Amino acid sequence: MNSFTRLLGAGSVCLFQCQAVFLPVHYTAGLSLAAGFSHSTPALPPSAMPVHLLTWNINGIRSLPRPFAEVLPSLGADIVCLQETKVTRDQLDSSLVHVDGFNAFFAFCRVRGGYSGVAVYCSDRLRPLRAGDSLLGAGGPDDSVGSWPDGPGLSAAVGCDDDPAARVALDSEGRCLLIEFPTSDGRGLVLITVYCPNADPSNEARMQFKMRYHRLLRLRADCLIRSGKHVIIAGDLNVSHRLIDHCETAEALPISGGDG
């Protein structure tokens, strides 16, 4: 099993941990998630097609110059992961929720309006098994899209087992969605789309939150992989591996930027 990393845009990455598996299309045909992502992609069966996944920090889903229902089909993707949607539940209208040919999933920030938020649009050809918006797996209030099974000792592993407020905070900013799809090998594939927090290192509390969130993301993915799932992480991690990966020069680069 190999891991692959592909830079899809400034601040957006996809991390793959999967073999050549196929997503059923209406449970009759197949879609290959391996095509284009592996150096040794196997030949596709006659009924298989590649799944195209796109991740985009949209910086406000309602701020586009064209209606989103017109933009989405033009992207040519089967799965579209959005970060920084900056929309609350009561701001959603039919033009965002009911896009012809797609099913939509949203996670909302519950502590601050017009902040953070992620969404996933899946082609009608794909049939998710379940969806959740909690990395800790603790479920959520009525406005969550669903809970995810508790990960073994995740809250203790990120240092907030004895801090209920810290546990709630990790899942309160609408920063992730987990969506599972059936695969031809029976293991299932979990897509995790995330908008990881940003933080000024001088803000100790926020920096701790950022590092805790990154650790939680890694541990959640590890738990899923150990349970036999294929995993894709797609989104804005709010990190740059090296200076060359950033659009700014060393002189202009702030310690930390963005709304994160």
193 found inside a domain = yes
Residue 214, pLDDT > 60, answer yes
Highest mean pLDDT among 37-46, 174-183, 234-243: 174-183
| Region of poorest pLDDT, from 36-40, 88-92, 218-222 | 36-40
**The pLDDT of residue 226:** 86
For residues 136 and 2, the model is more confident at: 136
What global pTM score does this model have? 0.77
Beta strand 230-236 pairing with 12-17: antiparallel
| Tokens 């992207």 belong to residue | 75
Please check whether residue 88 is in contact with residue 128, taking contact to mean a CB–CB distance below 8 angstroms: no
For the segment 10-50, what is each residue's pLDDT rounded down to a tens digit?
A: 334 455 444 444 444 332 223 333 322 223 334 444 445 67
Report yes or no: 256 and 197 within 8 Å, Cβ to Cβ: no
260, part of any domain: no
In the numeric block, which tokens belong to residue 112? 């601050």
Pick 181 or 256 by higher pLDDT.
181
pLDDT band at 233 (very low <50, low <70, confident <90, very high): very high
Q: What is the structure's pLDDT at 79?
A: 95
Location of structure tokens 């994160």: 260
Q: What whole-number distance in Å separates Cα of residue 25 and Cα of residue 83?
A: 26
What is the spatial distance between Cα 101 and Cα 103, in angstroms, rounded to a whole number?
A: 7
Would 40 be classed as within a structural domain? no
Predicted pLDDT at 77: 93
- Residue 229 pairs in a beta bridge with none
* Residues in CB range of 203: below 8 A, 6 or more apart: none
Position of tokens 């959603």?
Answer: 92
Looking at residue 29, what is its pLDDT?
A: 28
Range of the structural domain that residue 87 is part of: 15-23+49-241
Is residue 118, in this structure, part of any structural domain at all? yes
Number of helical (H) and strand (E) elements in the chain, helices listed first: 5, 13
Pick out the residues of the known binding site.
Answer: 57, 84, 236, 238
Confirm whether 31 is domain-assigned. no
Using DSSP, state whether 190 is helix, strand or coil.
strand
- pLDDT digits 0-9 by tens, 133-161: 888 875 444 333 444 555 557 777 888 87
Evaluate whether residue 80 is within a structural domain: yes
Q: Which structure tokens are listed for 223? A: 């738990």
CATH number for position 229? 3.60.10.10
Binding-site members for Mg(2+) are 57, 84, 236, 238
The yes-or-no verdict on residue 4 having pLDDT over 70 is no
Is the pLDDT assigned to residue 6 strictly greater than 60? no
Looking at the structure of the chain, the number of domains it has is 1
